[in-house]
Amino acid sequence: MSLTHTGVTTTPADLDPCGRADHPDCGIRDVLDRIGDKWSVLVIVELASGPRRFRELQRAVDGISQRMLTLTVRRLERDGLVLRTVYPTVPAQVDYRLTTTGAGLTHLVKALADWSLAHRPVIAEARRAYDRTHPDHDIR
Amino acid sequence: MSLTHTGVTTTPADLDPCGRADHPDCGIRDVLDRIGDKWSVLVIVELASGPRRFRELQRAVDGISQRMLTLTVRRLERDGLVLRTVYPTVPAQVDYRLTTTGAGLTHLVKALADWSLAHRPVIAEARRAYDRTHPDHDIR
DNA sequence: CAGTATCCGAGTTGATACTG
DNA sequence: CAGTATCAACTCGGATACTG
């Protein structure tokens, strides 16, 4: 479902996720779907430090299950952000590394991380203020 | 603190919703959770063009349900990214606009959008190539 | 080691109906 | 207009077990 689902009240099969000129999200959805999920960013960040094997990644990304790591790296691979290399040894050995495209994305992720870090106090305070003024409201 | 944790990244003092020191995502998660979901970015982008009323937003963000729009703007408000103003008219009138913090975030979102747009062809091609070479694989 | 295959519960979303 | 309330459908992620 990650390919072209933006809002979609439009047609089922739309090869043009973009559709309208007044729809400013064209294309961004693709990337957002990828980096927006729980694990991708963590994997990307880890790979930014260099190639990693499957188990290394799993150990580095604390809490990720085998299943989720597999799915995550597969999707990143499919999008051309990560390169997966299998060495026909026994036991199997596979390494993952960022592609040029993927490395480019890390800059943005880094920028986002910096912004997040810089604004964490502000956001935290905003939340406290909100929760204080809206005691019974459950936004999550 | 940096995102990159080569081998060992001990985050010294961490006040955190984060839990553990070996978790390099501290803080970025907050923001990612917000902009990573299906609708927030679309709403932010729309608001980047100026204040909007509830219905205007709903019309602009194609496909969003009333419920989801409410939840989305509430969360953005709670995080201090969006300011919600209620005018006690009849019928009710409410407008939403980005806060200074929110506006700052739009720059990053913009950067992400630009990157996405620029790399869309590459990613699309990577996907086609992957799907061609892995015909039976369902990554979704 | 590096996966794949299943099952299942929790959380999220969307449709629908109703209100100040 | 700008919501709130409710509920069913669906998705996602984790746990577990098995394989080349």
pLDDT means per 10 residues, chain A with 140 residues, are 33 36 59 84 94 97 94 96 97 97 93 88 94 84
Closest approach of B71 to chain A, Cα-based (Å): 7
Q: Of B16-25, B56-65, B106-115, which one has max mean pLDDT?
A: B56-65
Closest approach of A70 to chain B, Cα-based (Å): 10
Closest approach of B88 to chain A, Cα-based (Å): 19
Kindly state whether B51 is in contact with chain A, defined as any CB-CB distance less than 8 angstroms.
Answer: no
CB contact under 8 A, A117 and B79: no
Looking at A3-47, which runs of residues are DSSP E strands? none
* CB-contacts to strand C (7 A): A 53-56, 66-67, 70, 73-74, 84, 86, 91-95, 140; B 37-38, 64-68, 71, 91-92
pLDDT in tens, B2-13: 333 333 333 333
> Using omega within 30 degrees of 0 as the cis cutoff, is the peptide bond preceding B91 cis?
yes
pLDDT in tens, B46-96: 999 999 999 999 999 989 999 999 999 999 999 999 999 999 999 999 999
What's chain B's average pLDDT? 82
pLDDT of residue A132: 93
What's the Cα-to-Cα distance from B21 to each of A65, A81, B8, rounded to whole Å?
19, 27, 10
B53 touches strand D (CB under 7 A): yes
Residue type, A104: G
H-assigned helices in B5-93: 28-36, 40-47, 54-60, 66-78
- The residues, ordered by sequence, that sit 6+ positions from B48 with a Cβ below 8 Å of its Cβ are B98, B103, B106, B109, B110
Query: Which DSSP helix (H) or strand (E) runs through B53?
Result: strand B52-53
Kindly state whether B140 is in contact with chain A, defined as any CB-CB distance less than 8 angstroms.
Answer: yes
pTM: 0.81
- The residues, ordered by sequence, that sit 6+ positions from A21 with a Cβ below 8 Å of its Cβ are none
Q: Collect all residues of chain B within an 8 Å Cβ-Cβ radius of residue A115.
A: 31, 104-105, 108
pLDDT of residue B17: 37
Query: Which DSSP helix (H) or strand (E) runs through B52?
Result: strand B52-53
Q: Which nucleotides of C are covered by protein (CB under 7 A)?
A: 1-6, 12-17, 20
CB contact under 8 A, B101 and A122: yes
